[in-house]
Structure 1
Amino acid sequence: MLRTPTDETRLRILAWLKEPGPAADGVTADAVAERFALAPPVARTHLRLLEATGLLRSTRSAGVVRYHRDDMRIAEVARMFEKGW
C-alpha cells in the first residue's frame, strides 16, 4: 500500500474518482488509461492495487468492471497515518 509511483498516479486516480461523474458511475480501466495517458495494462495494475488495499471497490455488470472509491476505507487509512502509523 505504501509503494506509490513518483508521479502520484494513484493519488490522481483517487482524486478523479471523487468528481461527480466518476463518483456516481465509477470508471473502467480503459477510462483511467485514457484520462491519465497510461497503457491499459498499467491502468489495470494501478486499479487492482488500489482495490487490494481497500481504497477502491469494483462492480461488474455485463462483463464491464467499474471502480469506485471506498471513502470509508480512505478515511480509515488517513486516520491511521494521522496517528503516526
Structure 2
Amino acid sequence: MIDIDKIHKVLANPVRRDILRWLKDPAVNFPDSRFPHAEGVPIGAIHARINLAQSTVSAHLATLMRAGLLRMHRVGQWVFVSRNEQTIGLFIAALTEDMTQEDLAAAR
C-alpha cells in the first residue's frame, strides 16, 4: 500500500522530481558512469550533477527512499540508486483513479 499524500509532498520539491526524471533514463542523463546502468546510478554521480551540498542531496535521496520512490543497493563500496517503478506505477494509477472519481462526482 502506498501513501499518496506522502508521495505528493515528496514530489512537491523540484530537485526530487529532477532526480526521478534523471533516473528514468540513466544512460542519457549519466553518460559518464563507469558502471552498467542496470545497477542503477552511483550516488556520487547524482551528487556531481546537482549543484547542492552533499548533505542536501543525501537528504533528498533519503526522502525519496522513505516514500518508496527509489531503491538503493550496495555493491562493494558503491551505493546505487534506481527508480522503484512499481511504486511509481501504483501512485500514477491511484492518482488517475482519484481524479477520475472526482470528475465523475462533479459531473453528477
Q: Same fold (TM over 0.5)?
A: yes
Structure 1 or 2: more helix by fraction: 2
Residues 60 and 66 of structure 1 are in contact (CA less than 8 Å); yes or no, is this contact kept in structure 2?
yes
Residues 32 and 38 of structure 1 are in contact (CA less than 8 Å); yes or no, is this contact kept in structure 2?
no
Q: CA deviation at 1:19?
A: 1.0
Instruction: Select the structure of larger CA radius of gyration.
Output: 2
Counterpart CA distance in 2 for 1:20 and 1:44 is 18
Given candidates 35, 48, 51, the residue that maps to 2:49 is: 35
Counterpart CA distance in 1 for 2:44 and 2:52 is 9
Residues 26 and 40 of structure 2 are in contact (CA less than 8 Å); yes or no, is this contact kept in structure 1?
no
Q: Alpha carbon RMSD of aligned pairs, Å?
A: 1.8
- In the alignment, which residue of structure 1 is the partner of 2:88? 74
Q: How high is the TM-score relative to the length of structure 1?
A: 0.82
Given candidates 11, 18, 21, the residue that maps to 1:15 is: 21
The list of structure 1 runs, each at least 4 consecutive aligned residues, that deviate by more than 4 angstroms after superposition, is none
SS in 1 for 2:58: helix
Counterpart CA distance in 1 for 2:90 and 2:81 is 19
- In the alignment, which residue of structure 1 is the partner of 2:98? 84
Kindly tell me the number of residue pairs found equivalent between the two proteins.
83
Counterpart CA distance in 2 for 1:24 and 1:37 is 25
Unaligned runs of 5+ in 1: none
Q: CA deviation at 1:75?
A: 0.6
Residues 29 and 43 of structure 1 are in contact (CA less than 8 Å); yes or no, is this contact kept in structure 2?
no
Q: CA deviation at 1:65?
A: 1.2
